[in-house]
Amino acid sequence: MSHRYRLYPTPEQEAGLLDYCAHARFVWNLGNEQRLMYRPGRGPTPNYYEQSRQLTEAREAELWLASGSRTVQQQALRDLDQAWRNFFAGKHGRPGWRKRGEHEGFRIGNANEWRVEKINRRWSRVLVPKIGWVRFRRSRDVPEAKSYRVTMDQAGRWHIAFATVPQPIPGPGTGMVVGIDRGVAVSLALSTGETYQAPARAHRASLLARRRSRTKRGSNRRERARNCRARLLARDADRRKDWAQKTSTDIARRFDVIRIEDLNIRNMTRSAKGTIEQPGRNVRQKGGLNRAILGSGWGLFAECLEYKAVGRVKKVNPAFTSQRFSACGHVDAKSRKSQARFVCTACGFTLNADVNAARNIAAGCAVTARGGLPLGGPVNREPQLSLLAS
């Protein structure tokens, strides 16, 4: 986790920060190219230490690199080395290329080269090597950290983030269990009957994208349209992050055991366009569904919940949770009459469909197509709310 603050550099400092971003991007791409060019029989792939030695030679040959901070460039190589380690461990995908305007940022990892000073209640400043003191807005207390990262988003805003280990939120100690169903029309539905709605995405972003497509490449109108859309998307992302943080904190404080669906969001939002030989079907509809899922912040909410309620978040197989009635256990796809209405075909009881799914998730185990627990699955004996409570 990182504590992020808004950075306000002067024009001269901003030019220096952009140079640092270019140095980090250049070193990352050059080091990544070396690793991708490796072939069996050519010797070992250059690791961080070998590439750091080559960086010394490159700085002696290139004045452009020598004018920047060696710490920034070394940290870019450290980040690249860690990215490849994560790739070989199966934790992340293969490291890609950093692009200008999309991946603007650098990291300072040597605690001896920087420090933070408080100016007043609202402002602080950080020492950036070879640039000097840069002010940032003190929106909350600055944690003790060993490194920080400076980034610029596509809207042109500068931020500084201090890496720190978050403190988990203790549970209330009541033994209460809650199930959470994530959806598109209703972002979060709890087994208690409560619902949470993520901030709506700005529809004007698509209009600005079409306006940009009609402009000439390299023109000022195209750049203005791009900046306007980037600012709009940045505000959307800020609202979504704020909603995820506040909602996850509220749930972590109220419940001891939290059960959510084990969803593979990456596969769920995969494009349906297919190939030229086998084109996809309903591509536009699937694209709209993908945008709605990503706009609901499912993954961000689950990530925040896991580090705030450490050891108290359980993932449940979502199979048939939307088709099974939480009270009598009858499973029938016809019971779900609409997006929000669930009418059991066996007992005729009516319940909100999302809340019904959340109560099945709170039961703690998936169900089979015949409606029973799989292989006589475990019986949940933890305290729960009444399933028929309104």
Helix H, strand E, coil C: the string for 40-81 is CCCCCCCCHHHHHHHHHHHHHHCHHHHCCCHHHHHHHHHHHH
CA distance 242 to 235: 11
Q: Give residue-wise pLDDT tens across range 51-93.
A: 999 999 999 988 999 999 999 999 999 999 999 999 989 888 8
Percentage of residues in the chain with pLDDT exceeding 90?
A: 35
* Catalytic-role residue among 79, 81, 104, 354: 354
- What pLDDT was estimated at residue 226? 86
Q: Give residue-wise pLDDT tens across range 215-273.
A: 888 899 888 888 888 888 888 888 999 999 999 999 999 999 999 998 888 888 888 88
- What pLDDT was estimated at residue 101? 82
* Catalytic-role residue among 104, 181, 256, 306: 181
CA distance 311 to 3: 22
- What pLDDT was estimated at residue 372? 47
Residues 6+ apart with CB under 8 A from 42: none
User: Is the predicted pLDDT of residue 136 greater than 90, yes or no?
Assistant: yes
Comparison of pLDDT for 73 and 364, the residue scoring more: 73
User: Is the predicted pLDDT of residue 381 greater than 60, yes or no?
Assistant: no
- Average pLDDT in the chain: 85
Q: Which of 102-116, 219-233, 365-379 has the lowest mean pLDDT?
A: 365-379
Block residue for tokens 């934790």: 91
- What pLDDT was estimated at residue 161? 92
Confidence of residue 165 (pLDDT cuts 50, 70, 90): confident
From the number of C-beta atoms within 10 Å of its C-beta (0-12, 13-18, 19+), residue 241 rates as middle
Q: Which of 40-54, 167-181, 210-224 has the lowest mean pLDDT?
A: 40-54
Residues 6+ apart with CB under 8 A from 179: 190, 191, 259, 260, 316, 358, 359, 360, 361, 362, 363
CA distance 159 to 129: 16
CA distance 210 to 159: 29
* Catalytic-role residue among 104, 256, 261, 306: 261
- What pLDDT was estimated at residue 365? 53
Q: Rounded mean pLDDT of 357-375?
A: 61
Confidence of residue 41 (pLDDT cuts 50, 70, 90): low
User: Is the predicted pLDDT of residue 368 greater than 70, yes or no?
Assistant: no
CA distance 208 to 114: 40
| Cβ atoms of residues 357 and 321 within 8 Å | yes
The verdict on whether 81 is a catalytic residue reads no
Confidence of residue 375 (pLDDT cuts 50, 70, 90): very low
Confidence of residue 385 (pLDDT cuts 50, 70, 90): very low
Comparison of pLDDT for 371 and 19, the residue scoring more: 19
Its pTM stands at 0.77
User: Is the predicted pLDDT of residue 340 greater than 50, yes or no?
Assistant: yes
CA distance 173 to 255: 8
The verdict on whether 181 is a catalytic residue reads yes
Q: Rounded mean pLDDT of 280-308?
A: 87
The tokens for 305 are 């919940």
User: Is the predicted pLDDT of residue 17 greater than 80, yes or no?
Assistant: yes
How many C-beta neighbours within 10 Å does residue 123 have? Answer: 13
The verdict on whether 141 is a catalytic residue reads no
- What pLDDT was estimated at residue 264? 87
The tokens for 110 are 């040597």
User: Is the predicted pLDDT of residue 174 greater than 70, yes or no?
Assistant: yes
Write the DSSP string, 311-348: TTEEEE--TTTTTB-TTT--B-GGGB-SSSEEE-TTT-
User: Of the ranges 129-138, 221-230, 293-302, 380-389, which is most confident?
Assistant: 129-138
